[in-house]
Amino acid sequence: MKLYPLKFTPIFKDKIWGGQKIKTVLGRDFGTLPNAGESWDISGVDGDESVVCNGALAGNNLAELVEVYMGDLVGDKVYAKHGNQFPLLVKVIDADDALSIQVHPDDEMAAERHNSLGKTEMWYLLDADDDASLISGFNGEISKEEYLTRVEDATLEDALRSYPVKKGDVFFMPAGRVHAIGKGCLIAEIQETSDITYRIYDFNRVDDNGNHRELHTELAVDAIDFSYVENANIQYDLKANEPCNVVDCSHFTTNILKVDGSLSRNYEDLDSFVILMGAEGEITIVCDGCEETIAMGESVLIPATLNNITLKSQNGKLLECYIK
């Protein structure tokens, strides 16, 4: 069956810190869940595979599609490296309270400990409350020994770098960097396909049953990159109808596109699938006789065999992600 731009049914996750903005801001109905802290929009995670909701392939999940279409869907070089595992996870995060202070392992450590990919990720602020902030890395040089002391005496927060944030901000979070999303952030996240998180500190919260969430102090310390990063907030200059690169790493490349009128994109040389995620406004994707429209926070998967698309919008913005 001929491939086309694919949309998927969101997988909603209620979280101890989750809120209502996925419903009130993005207009998604998450049913009877008390909140939707996360909406997994394109996922190949075992047990949480996204299901197609548009076109002739509706009802098939992403794992089935990769197994059947292989390089035609993800690109030959991507398939040669990752096989039937779709390599990226795309989600929306709504933080009505701060997430735990945490860190993720890199590919080597995750493979050894969990038979998994690591978790390098990036964040794009879809929206943010006036006083919203997030944590990325340390606020100065720190040794492993000082870090362990601060964990023990509950002063770790004093050593972390906090950033006030606003709509449109971009942060790159390589595996190994200590981080936390703060209250009031609505974030588009692009990451490796992994659900491995080492929780360092969780603000002494308890769940509905009065239980604290598990911390992973010993696992985390070996995963942490203690390097000081002067500014983790990625600066960029966005111009209409010109791709603006914000992340370029071995796991994925992400551009921001501001579409004013019509913008053509040629992916012939990529040999990779492309994910388009709405960041602002409404964008229509025209591809091989098909049309799909995405709003803020929605995602579309462009199969690797579809080399030419046209984007139409009046000052809409989107994230464009692929693997080099």
- Residue 20 to residues 17, 23, 62, 213, 252, Cα–Cα distance (Å): 11, 5, 27, 22, 29
Regarding the domain delimited by 11-234, which CATH topology (the fold level of the hierarchy) does it fall under? Jelly Rolls (2.60.120)
pTM, rounded to two decimals: 0.96
- Residue 186 to residues 24, 182, 256, 279, Cα–Cα distance (Å): 11, 10, 17, 11
Q: Is the CATH number of domain 244-322 3.40.50.2300?
A: no
Where do the structural domains in the chain lie, given as residue ranges? Answer: 11-234, 244-322
Q: What amino acid positions are annotated as catalytic residues?
A: 199
d(Cα 134, Cα 98) in Å, to the nearest integer?
Answer: 8
d(Cα 172, Cα 248) in Å, to the nearest integer?
Answer: 10
Do the first three CATH levels of 11-234 and 244-322 match, i.e. the same topology?
yes
Q: pLDDT per position in the chain (324 positions), as tens?
A: 899 999 999 999 999 999 999 999 999 999 999 999 999 999 999 999 999 999 999 999 999 999 999 999 999 999 999 999 999 999 999 999 999 999 999 999 999 999 999 999 999 999 999 999 999 999 999 999 999 999 999 899 999 999 999 999 999 999 999 999 999 999 999 999 999 999 999 988 887 788 888 999 999 999 999 999 999 999 999 999 999 999 999 999 999 999 999 999 999 999 999 999 999 999 999 998 899 999 999 999 999 999 999 999 999 999 999 999
pLDDT value, residue 13: 98
pLDDT value, residue 196: 96
